[in-house]
Structure 1
């Protein structure tokens, strides 16, 4: 997590509970690769105490990802949705997750921005979606400041009305308590939908980037295997994202951040493959 200005840049590493897809019987796997920091999310109210007991026993630090706890009726976040009921439901969820983060002393809380909209809709335009983003983010910034816990907003997509780096930059300049989570995979997918230069996007947002979600994917693989572990064998010329190039642009020389390995087990759960990828990413970052 980013430290106050004046401190030397620091890169932390964490692993996401996405690696076990909510299976609390596999919590031990999260520490077997040498991590002492986790990003936890999507556990329900019955699972959460077990997860937090595990973190306490192991002496782990953690950030949280909305929703936590996950309600039974949870659906995809709608932070910029023109349906006010959906948007309020998302704000309520983030509010509950922030209460959980406060109770357990989490370093930060991740939320999603904007809402996913696959196709243009009649009556919507970028100005309206940006107005909704401003309204939601003004509330989140006030909550974050009051709680003393950074709310870190992650780029998701596609959204035909809110996807440019400049859109995100305006939000973070307007609401300094909010920080940015660069999700490498979602950026790669959005670049396939829109005229986005991923490297320029990552560099422009780097001063506001506190967390980076690290995994690989392609538009085709995402549909079936979701988040693929980062690994040097997954080459950009074969359609995979260029992790070293993106990290070089995304990690600001003036700011600290946390790199979270956010793979899921559908592509492979092979510990050796995952471990090789983690070591590779750390070596890449160490060379910057």
Structure 2
């Protein structure tokens, strides 16, 4: 379990830390802390417990209107302002001596959507978080993404962190071309996060999309796996439910075992970040979750 992580969102939650975090875990992924004291608690506990810190951008709540930076916006002013916000947060993180192993960003943002798919069950905080393919040409995607990769690679070296791109809703620009793999080859300090709940959801609502194909395509480049489950039938329910062996794919749950085995086949060094609601299950079930995933990775 030395590659396992838990998330801390909004604050450093000591009760969650005591229940969910185990002594040999790799670290904690932090996001949207509302109080600077919680940043200090995180740093102090990491030093005391000798574990690593990852950041799901941003570390602090309220530095921008939306959580996810819109670095691919078609609006040049928004794009420029986004990069300024990001760098200011990097400066803060360095000044507070957080020393994160990685900083993670949703990609692409805004997401580029296939208009033939119903995205009603995809959660967007704001209409500006998505744009349709007909509004965003492949050439523009390549140009703006190329700039992002170069910029993030440079900032990662300057501020001493690994940039990680968490794949959000995806369209043909990502899954039908080799462009992103080429960028990852050009900038090897940038890595990928595979979100298994998100992959399962798109697999169920988008007939052109294959979660397994995306896993095979990007597992070699993956640093972090966000692990949670969701049930997709006529309705979508139990988002961010913990992954448990009793949750069967034939009942609409994600085929977690299948996903994990494929990732392990290609990459034995991924970190598993449990992005689930552990409060929904008992201590016994939580231990079963950890043990099951650990066994799958052996």
Normalised-by-shorter TM-score class: 0.7 to 0.9
Corresponding residue number in structure 2 for 1:164: 175
- Once the two structures are TM-superposed, the CA of residue 88 in structure 1 deviates from its matched residue by 3.6
Match of 1:130 among 125, 134, 142: 142
Aligned partner of 1:196 in structure 2 is 209
Of 168-177 and 241-250, deviating more is 168-177
The within-5 A match list for 1:255-274 is 256-264=269-277, 268-274=280-286
Deviations 1:122-166 (A, max 9, x none): 532233223222222221111112233211111011x54644174
Higher share in strand: 2
Residues 215 and 262 in structure 1, CA contact (< 8 A), matched pair in contact too: yes
2:241 is paired with a residue whose SS is coil
Tell me the residue number matched to 1:111: 105
Q: 2:18 aligns with which of 10, 28, 32?
A: 28
Which of 187, 191, 208 pairs up with 1:175? 187
Picking from 81, 90, 103, the partner of 2:73 is 81
Cα deviation code 1:192-222 (max 9, x no counterpart): 3251222222122122111111111145799
Shift of the 90–247 alpha-carbon distance from structure 1 to 2, 3 Å rule, reads: farther
Q: What secondary structure sits across from 2:28 in the alignment?
A: strand
Residues 1:161 and 1:74: Cα distance change in structure 2 (over 3 Å): farther
Alpha carbons of 1:218 and 1:198: their partners in 2 closer, same or farther (altered >3 Å)? Answer: same
CA distance in 1, matches of 2:151, 2:41: 31
Q: Secondary structure at the match of 1:204?
A: helix
| SS at structure 2 position matched to 1:86 | helix
Partner of 1:217, secondary structure, is strand
Alpha-carbon distance in 2 for matches of 1:222, 1:146? 46
Q: Equivalent residue of 1:241, what SS? A: coil
Matches of 2:282 and 2:34, distance apart in 1? 27
Q: Which residue of 2 aligns with 1:98?
A: 90
Q: Structure 2: which 5+ runs fail to align?
A: 116-131
1: CA distance between counterparts of 2:83 and 2:235? 27
Q: Return the offset for 1:56.
A: 3.1
Which of residues 139, 144, 155 is equivalent to 2:167? Answer: 155
**TM-aligned CA deviation for residue 36 of structure 1:** 5.1
In structure 2, C-alpha distance between the alignment counterparts of 1:129 and 1:230, rounded to whole Å: 34
Normalised to the residue count of structure 1, the TM-score between the two structures is 0.81
- Which residue in 2 is equivalent to 1:230? 243
Measure how far apart 1:50 and its partner are: 2.8
Structure 1: runs of 5 or more not aligned: 1-9
Name the stretch that deviates more: 207-216 or 39-48: 39-48
Matched, 1:141 2:142: no
Residue 56 (structure 2) aligns with: 65
Shift, 1:96, TM fit: 3.9
Deviation string 1:78-137 (CA, Å, 9 cap, x unpaired) is 232213343344434433443455422221111111123555265322332232222222
Equivalences, count: 273
Question: Bigger relative contact order, structure 1 or 2, given CA contacts below 8 A and separation 6+?
Answer: 1
SS in 2 for 1:142: helix
Distance 1:232 1:92, change over 3 A: farther
